């Protein structure tokens, strides 16, 4: 074999060994991040990895002459540089709140629970009949205000413009207590309330708590998440095909393109880091997370037919999401005992809304229907996904018609489907 070929083979072998050493040290670093829960912004894992790599490099170079002894340190230096990026913040550690909305005044209410939440009031329109019972909704539903409802919306603690909580205080029970405290702070008597998605889970648990349910006049449970631990562990099918995998990938910057946040959010999602990890603080994580990080989650909230016309839901400046707080609340739901027996005692008139292309597990929704005897009607919404009011076609108007008919105790615009007796058929037919 020619000398040049031998040299090439040797060089390639050494390069591969060096790359393997870098990869090994990176794996050690990630393992130590998990074992230390990211202590000290990852520095504990980084220093330990650097120490291990240095010791191994010294051992490998012990019989070499100078300066060949330095060669084994090259992979250590490369690995140290790569993993150091996981320890260096690229966004502020103090919370940066989204700017004020241009169309409504942001208020901040201090609740008796200790939460400080952002509140938005949409007073009823000047014309048309007014409804004396205030309507509480966790997000924006201005259309109801134009129909005469006094609409209040608030962002749950840790979300949007609401203040953060210590990580250990994010629980599903705290969310229910905050809801009760908000209604008390509103001081307008019983309220009509709409809980959507995770808010639907909060509302369902509120209906199972007599002290909170006593404050509710009528309840609308829209596309609820799991209501308790047994429900959360149910595996089953979802609704008809969504736009997931069909819609164009979201544009814009992603925190997951930055090593620090790719590692932090990835390991948290896998359950290998706790939500209160020492790797990134709660505020830093909120600041770093972007709308594009939601990936196909947004598309999954729309029907397949809408894949190429999904509206922009947030601007980069207005978007806000707390991944750690969300994971923490979800975990407390999974760890909670069944509330079915308490929910069976509910007497608050309620309505369940189910989207045809729902991205929720169907049994999360039908379990609520099966156990809440006060659900008077179910509205299976055709042509929409999880985000049932989305500005497309007449979806907003149809959703509002369903809601207002129930609140006014008028005949439902859609058939009452599925009923409790129809749940087995509904699930069997993969509706």
Give per-residue pLDDT as tens, 223-270: 999 999 999 999 888 999 999 999 998 888 889 899 999 999 999 999
Instruction: Kindly state whether residues 165 and 307 are assigned to the same domain.
Output: yes
Structural domain contains residue 365 = yes
Average pLDDT over residues 114-138: 71
Domain containing residue 338: 107-428
Residue where a domain terminates, one of 87, 120, 155: 87
Q: Say if residue 72's pLDDT is above 50.
A: yes
Structural domain contains residue 408 = yes
Instruction: Kindly state whether residues 119 and 263 are assigned to the same domain.
Output: yes
- β-sheet bridge partners, residue 383: none
CA 372 – CA 201 distance, rounded (Å): 13
Instruction: Kindly state whether residues 238 and 341 are assigned to the same domain.
Output: yes
Q: Which residue has the higher pLDDT, 67 or 278?
A: 278
Residue 325: partners with Cβ closer than 8 Å, 6 or more residues away:
157, 158, 159, 164, 165, 167, 170, 275, 282
The pLDDT value recorded for residue 409 is 95
Rank 34-43, 47-56, 137-146 by mean pLDDT and report only the highest: 34-43
Q: What is the DSSP letter of 373?
A: T
CA 273 – CA 286 distance, rounded (Å): 16
Q: How many domains does the chain have?
A: 2
Structural domain contains residue 403 = yes
Q: Say if residue 328's pLDDT is above 90.
A: yes
The pLDDT value recorded for residue 138 is 47
Q: What is the domain-level CATH number for residue 417?
A: 3.40.50.1820
Place of tokens 């991205």: 359
Structural domain contains residue 94 = no
Q: Say if residue 423's pLDDT is above 70.
A: yes
The pLDDT value recorded for residue 127 is 60
Structural domain contains residue 96 = no
Average pLDDT over residues 213-218: 97
Instruction: Kindly state whether residues 289 and 376 are assigned to the same domain.
Output: yes
What is the rounded average pLDDT for all residues in the chain? 89
Place of tokens 């615009």: 413
Structural domain contains residue 283 = yes
Q: Say if residue 26's pLDDT is above 70.
A: yes
Dig out the tokens for 102 from the structure.
């241009």
Residue where a domain terminates, one of 38, 58, 87: 87
Structural domain contains residue 98 = no
Q: Please name the helix (run of DSSP H) or strand (run of DSSP E) that holds residue 151, with its range, or none.
A: strand 151-154
The pLDDT value recorded for residue 37 is 96
Instruction: Kindly state whether residues 300 and 332 are assigned to the same domain.
Output: yes
Instruction: Kindly state whether residues 364 and 227 are assigned to the same domain.
Output: yes
Instruction: Kindly state whether residues 83 and 112 are assigned to the same domain.
Output: no
Q: SS3 for 230? A: helix
Q: Which residue has the higher pLDDT, 15 or 179?
A: 179
Q: Say if residue 140's pLDDT is above 60.
A: no
Place of tokens 């164009």: 248
CA 304 – CA 314 distance, rounded (Å): 21
Instruction: Kindly state whether residues 340 and 417 are assigned to the same domain.
Output: yes
Average pLDDT over residues 125-146: 59
Count of Cβ atoms closer than 10 Å to residue 375 Cβ: 23
Residue where a domain terminates, one of 87, 117, 147: 87
CA 191 – CA 152 distance, rounded (Å): 10
């Amino acid at each position: 074999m020619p000398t040049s070929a031998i040299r090439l083979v040797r060089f390639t072998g050494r390069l591969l060994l060096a790359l393997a050493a870098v990869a090994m040290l990176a794996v050690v670093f990630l393992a130590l991040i998990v074992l230390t829960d990211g202590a000290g912004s990852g520095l504990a894992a980084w220093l330990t990895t650097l120490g291990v790599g240095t010791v191994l490099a010294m051992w490998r170079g012990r019989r070499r002459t100078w300066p060949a002894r330095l060669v084994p340190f090259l992979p250590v230096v490369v690995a140290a540089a790569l993993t150091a990026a996981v320890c260096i913040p690229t966004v502020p550690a103090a919370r940066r709140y989204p700017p004020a909305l241009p169309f409504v005044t942001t208020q901040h209410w201090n609740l008796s629970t200790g939460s400080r939440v952002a509140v938005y009031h949409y007073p009823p329109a000047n014309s048309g009949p007014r409804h004396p019972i205030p309507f509480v909704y966790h997000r924006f539903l201005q259309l109801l205000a134009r129909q005469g409802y006094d609409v209040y919306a608030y962002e749950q603690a840790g979300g949007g413009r609401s203040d953060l909580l210590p990580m250990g205080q994010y629980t599903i029970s705290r969310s229910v207590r905050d809801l009760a405290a908000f209604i008390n702070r509103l001081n307008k008597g019983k309220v009509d309330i709409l809980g959507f998605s995770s808010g639907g889970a909060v509302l369902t648990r509120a209906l199972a708590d007599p002290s909170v349910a006593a404050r509710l006049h009528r309840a609308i449970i829209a596309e609820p998440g799991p209501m308790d631990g047994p429900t959360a562990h149910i595996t089953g099918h979802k609704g008809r095909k969504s736009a997931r995998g069909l819609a164009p990938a979201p544009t814009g910057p992603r925190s997951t393109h930055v090593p620090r946040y790719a590692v932090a959010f990835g390991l948290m999602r896998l359950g290998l880091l706790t939500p209160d990890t020492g790797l990134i603080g709660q505020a830093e994580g909120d600041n770093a997370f972007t709308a594009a990080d939601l990936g196909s989650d947004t598309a999954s909230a729309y029907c397949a037919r809408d894949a190429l016309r999904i509206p922009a839901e947030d601007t980069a400046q207005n978007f806000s999401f707390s991944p750690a707080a969300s994971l923490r609340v979800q975990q407390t739901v999974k760890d909670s005992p069944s509330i079915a027996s308490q929910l069976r005692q509910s007497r608050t008139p309620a309505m369940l809304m189910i989207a045809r292309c729902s991205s929720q597990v169907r049994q999360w929704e039908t379990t609520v229907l099966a156990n809440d005897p006060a659900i008077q009607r179910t509205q299976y919404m055709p042509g929409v996904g999880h985000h049932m009011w989305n500005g497309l076609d007449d979806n907003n108007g149809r959703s509002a018609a369903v809601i207002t008919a129930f609140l006014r105790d008028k005949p439902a615009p859609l058939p009452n489907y599925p009923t409790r007796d129809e749940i087995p058929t509904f699930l069997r037919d993969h509706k």
